[in-house]
Structure 1
Amino acid sequence: MSEEAASRKAPGALARLSINQETIKQWSLPELAEGCAASGITQVGLWRAPVQEYGVERAARLMRAGGLTVTSLCRGGFFTESDAARRAAALDDNRRAIDEAATLETGTLVLVSGGLPPGDRDIAAARERVAEAVAVLAPYAAERGVRLAVEPLHPMYASDRCVISTLGQALDIAERFPVDQVGVVVDTYHLWWDDQVPAQIVRAGTGGRIAAFQVADWVTPLPEGVLLGRGQLGEGCVDLRGFREQVDAAGYRGAVEVEIFSPALWARSGTEVLAEVAERYQRHVL
């Protein structure tokens, strides 16, 4: 075994690994906490809907009791509505999301910006509405110890889910605000295709803007469409280790959060999936 391979298998190799809840969606929150603890994994990323169903304060107690750090909460956002009442409702919902993140003691609320409203073709204006919403929410979040993290999604999501498609676009918004209030998410599934990403990672790192780093692979053809077609680590064409090395070189020292939406994984034993993720993380990301 090479020295590099041995270091990837050494004790502590899972120290930065975070399991996003959606990767093992078949597990309840208690099962997730128990499974991670049994596997020596100390970090998880959570989603609002299952946390709300379980109870936010109850979930926070469960995480603390299991010795788990919540690396991010997904998701806030959906700011692009042009209707004033809908925009106000979105802001109210995001304030609740910030409060939930604070209760869970995570410093990162991931924002998915929202797509174009029906009949709207002005994507530049939609992006500006995202920035306007962040301006309203960032001080509220900062008061509660939560940092907003703007996530760019693959361009195939631009019409219906996220008008922020590149890391550069996310940084253009984040950099309008203090660094401790707004950062960005680097997600391999969404960004692997963009030849500007290396330079933008350097830009993000120089400014201290990398709030979260998420990994999943891209397989062709997408087995379940763009939303649920994410590949298990090492299955596809993404240079996962290269991404990790780039964010590390840019100064990022946080969690590496595995976020895979995959009905194929959800149909399997959660224990089996977790073990496979941990092994592939060490083999393809470290």
Structure 2
Amino acid sequence: MTHSQLSLNQATIKYAPLADAVRVTADAGYSSIGLWREPVAEFGLAASVTLVEDSGLRVSSMCRGGFFTLTEGQARRAAIDDNRRAIDETAAFGAPTLVLVAGGLPDGSRDLVGARARVADAIADLADYAQESGVTLAIEALHPMYVSDRAVVSTLGQALDIAEQFPAEAVGVVVDTFHVWWDPQVLDQIARAGATGRIASYQVCDWATPIAQDALLSRHYPGDGVIDFGSLTRAVLSTGYTGDIEVEIFNQQIWDAAWPDVARRTAAAFDAVVAPHLAESARR
């Protein structure tokens, strides 16, 4: 039996079609799954909701919304409209959280400050709708190596600077160990997030070098790298966080492995390096 807070993010078994991903996750003893919009769209939203309900799993989060850094125009309006659809999809599953990836610099731009400002502006367009839908928009800070092409929000502090402009029920943050472990301010920023109830999702995977040729595919099973899961997990739990903890891994070798084996190894890794800190917190 896997830990009750452990969730398998669908990206960890990326090549599994939705029905297979749900089956493998449930068969491995998980209580929760993190879904991605593209496989849901392929299977059909209504059919996907029924599939998950029948499996007995809950949905910990929906990935992903965001990509807000375009300058004003038709493409930016289309992106914001797509995020409204993402909120609807998240709500259809009864999931609490839509993960937002800010987006990188627009083609030809060097205006990092302006790009970050447009992220906040887009969230302002969506926050009320999300809150009315019962969905928290969770801003995910990505490691700075992704700032140009994927996320101009690089630290938990930057994510909180945006989130704190809105009600906590509407906008929170993701604490993802892969992206924030290096930050000298991370423990203080986790405490800051917790003080106002802003931690909408806690995601775990490990960091190991050398970085893959495609830097996106450099995540590892917890325990296979250098991240101190003890300090980060204790910091998150000390805020009162009781939500699901997702393992989200982008790694070609893991994607190429048998899905049930990945699900089992993910649970074993979690039990070895994350779960002991959950037990320690429960004893306090």
Q: What band does the TM-score fall into relative to the shorter chain? A: over 0.9
Aligned to 2:35, what secondary structure does the other structure show?
strand
| Matching residue of 2:240 | 251
Write the letter of the residue equivalent to 2:39: P
Q: TM-score, normalised by structure 2?
A: 0.94
Count the aligned residue pairs: 275
Deviates more, 1:139-148 or 1:188-197: 139-148
| Matching residue of 1:190 | 179
Residues 194-223 of structure 1: CA distance to partner in whole angstroms, max 9, x if unpaired?
010000000000010000000110010023
Distance 1:99 1:124 in 2: 30
Distance 2:18 2:30 in 1: 14
Distance 2:198 2:107 in 1: 32
| Matching residue of 1:266 | 255
8 Å CA contact 2:8, 2:33 repeated in 1:
yes
Distance 1:46 1:227 in 2: 18
| Matching residue of 1:172 | 161
Superposed, 1:140-179 pairs within 5 Å as: 140-179=129-168
Write the letter of the residue equivalent to 1:59: S
| Matching residue of 2:282 | none
Instruction: Quote the offset at 1:161 in angstroms.
Output: 0.8
| Matching residue of 1:132 | 121
| Matching residue of 2:6 | 17
Distance 1:174 1:244 in 2: 21
**Cα 1:242/1:138, change in 2 over 3 Å:** same
The gaps in structure 1 that reach 5 residues or longer are 1-10
| Matching residue of 1:199 | 188
Write the letter of the residue equivalent to 1:187: D
Instruction: Quote the offset at 1:225 in angstroms.
Output: 2.8
| Matching residue of 2:271 | 282
| Matching residue of 2:220 | 231
| Matching residue of 1:216 | 205
| Matching residue of 1:6 | none
Instruction: Quote the offset at 1:39 in angstroms.
Output: 2.0
Distance 1:57 1:243 in 2: 37
Write the letter of the residue equivalent to 1:136: D
Distance 2:76 2:24 in 1: 39
Aligned to 1:153, what secondary structure does the other structure show?
coil
The gaps in structure 2 that reach 5 residues or longer are 276-284
8 Å CA contact 2:37, 2:62 repeated in 1:
yes
Write the letter of the residue equivalent to 1:94: N
Work out the percentage of aligned pairs sharing the same amino acid. 51
Aligned to 2:141, what secondary structure does the other structure show?
coil
Aligned to 2:203, what secondary structure does the other structure show?
strand
